[in-house]
Structure 1
Amino acid sequence: MTDWLEIHRGEAPLVVAFPHTGTQIPPELEARFASPWLARKDADWWIDQLYAFARDLGATTVRTRLSRSVIDCNRDPSGASLYPGQATTGLCPTESFDGEPLYRGEGPDQAEIEQRRIAWFDPYHAAITAELARLRAIHPHVVLYDAHSIRSHIPRLFEGELPQFNIGTNGGATCDPALAQAVQSACAASGLTHVLDGRFRGGWTTRHYGEPQNGIHAIQMELAVRGYMAEPADPTPDSWPTELDAQPAILPILRQVITACLAFAKGHV
């Protein structure tokens, strides 16, 4: 653990990664952003708290405390788009999901982006790599679950209302079909909307680590935030973020999802 990187080690064959829950901004960078609120607006709010139960089940968790506006640990470090032809944000975003400029002036140049990558992106992924290797040495199969959330309505990114559960496997390439089916079944049983490989097919983390033929099964879950916190129609500094619900509606379903991931990893031979 460092001042910005949290690692909680478990022995079960499951790693839960949190690349976007952080809100820390280094002091030397904060003044360059248009506002502290805007630089934190697109965080995956409260997701690490929502999944805290996973550690009690033996899961390992890896989390960066840094804001995704500083460095997005779920983007291709080469700068290549994960969703060609669709609106998205980069390794060091210069605009919010809604298209608002994040910086007062110019954003980071290539040299600064490279410095941020070396300082923060690389250590975060080195931690994931090390934890997967540690667990893979004692388990034939390990699941990497990349945990995310996003507002339900962001017209710049997608039309209409996002399904409650958005499962990503990059078209089935990143995990065994049985894992995707188990997670999808848990979501379907909730009666809430869900989709497999819809708008969010899995980011760089899922695509980079998913090697089912080598015993690493990666899957992404993008939650619509309405399932665990109040969601204003028009987020402002006065209305966003809201608090984590005292009894999140989707928490029982997430417990079933994580339990299904563990059952798959332990039973898949």
Structure 2
Amino acid sequence: MQTSGDTELEPPYDVLLPQDGITSPFVFNSPHSGRTYPKAFVAASRLDTMTLRRSEDTFVEELFSGVVGLGAPLMHARFPRAYVDVNREAYELDPTMFDGRLPSFANTRSMRVAGGLGTIARIVADGAEIYSVPISVAEGLDRIERYYKPYHRDLRALIRQAYASFGTAIVVDCHSMPSARVTQENRRRPDFVLGDRYGTSCVSILTDIAQETLQRLGYSVARNKPYAGGYITETYGSPRDGLHALQIEVNRSLYMDELRYVRAGGFAWLVADITQLCRRLTSVSVEALRPVRAAAE
């Protein structure tokens, strides 16, 4: 992990492109794997950097790095989720954490805001408060302008490019989840959770193939519980229009030491298995993914 000023958040995200050009309608996205923490942000927090990292999807962009060799782009954030969360609406903001009045168009009453995990988070994943004093409204809005909006602009551009080339576009939103050991749950969490908004964000063949492939590789898989998909899955998935979004959550205990934020011994093995999963997904016929109305014609 790096800690730095905002200048080291340039570029704020990376888009990894296949060397021989894009040959797949899939767009892989890792919005929460950023781990560059601005010094001013750390200084304003009541938490140390190791605690701030509890919201990270650490190393997820590396787990899915094999997709570039399959002809698909991979986009991933460099800024941390605790700093600004692009898997939210643009202005899901908690008025209690700012020292001034938010603009009237801010969504201050969403469930995610109530839970402390809005666009500018009030807490980290385990519930610890991030800030010792309120932050300025200008600071929050600046993060949205500098990081959130450009991120979604370029993600939409990749989706439009895929749709124009293939008549369909599929976003695979890549995440990780803490194990039951870290969350102190009594029941073991599955190895993977597939989120398709209960069948509304992508055609079932994608979720079915993902589940079948992972189970054949020996992993336990759940659908939509406890993660059905967030703002990105909901926003970019419209199967009737040939737009699909599938969220994949990976249990961190499979590949890392969750307390020390280092890769575990099975890391390379998991990368190979996830690449195999993505190879299977990207082999789905585009005819099954194009708009319903086009198929009817």
Which bin holds the TM-score, normalised by the shorter protein? 0.7 to 0.9
1:220 maps to which residue?
Answer: 247
Long gaps (5+) in structure 1: none
Residue identity over aligned pairs, in percent, reads 22
For 1:85 and 1:103, the matched residues in 2 are separated by: 15
SS at match of 2:76: strand
Amino acid at match of 2:141: E
2:133 maps to which residue?
Answer: 105
| 94 and 85 in structure 1: CA distance in 2 versus 1, 3 angstrom threshold | closer
Structure 1 residue 85 displacement after superposition: 11
Long gaps (5+) in structure 2: 1-8, 93-106, 291-297
2:295 maps to which residue?
Answer: none
- Per-residue CA deviations over 1:166-206 (Å, capped at 9, x if unaligned) read 00011111101111111111122123211111110011111
Contact 1:141–1:265 (8 Å) recurs in 2: no
Q: Which moved more, 1:25-34 or 1:11-20?
A: 25-34
| Pairwise CA RMSD | 2.5
SS at match of 1:38: helix
2:282 maps to which residue?
Answer: 262
2:216 maps to which residue?
Answer: 189
| 20 and 137 in structure 1: CA distance in 2 versus 1, 3 angstrom threshold | same
* Aligned positions, number: 260
SS at match of 2:263: coil
Q: Which moved more, 1:24-33 or 1:67-76?
A: 24-33
Rg larger in structure: 2
For 1:244 and 1:82, the matched residues in 2 are separated by: 37
Spell out the pairing of 1:45-60 with structure 2 (5 A cutoff): 45-60=58-73
Quick check: 1:250 aligned with 2:278?
no
Quick check: 1:40 aligned with 2:53?
yes
1:162 maps to which residue?
Answer: 189
Quick check: 1:71 aligned with 2:89?
no
Amino acid at match of 1:179: L
Higher percent of residues as helix:
2
Q: Which moved more, 1:47-56 or 1:81-90?
A: 81-90
For 2:113 and 2:139, the matched residues in 1 are separated by: 26
Structure 1 residue 260 displacement after superposition: 2.3
TM-score normalised by structure 1 residue count: 0.87
SS at match of 2:84: coil
- Per-residue CA deviations over 1:83-122 (Å, capped at 9, x if unaligned) read 679956221112121111222323x354432221121111
Contact 1:164–1:193 (8 Å) recurs in 2: yes
2:99 maps to which residue?
Answer: none
SS at match of 1:104: coil
Of 2, 11, 16, which aligns to 1:8? 16
Of 75, 78, 88, which aligns to 1:62? 75
Structure 1 residue 73 displacement after superposition: 1.1
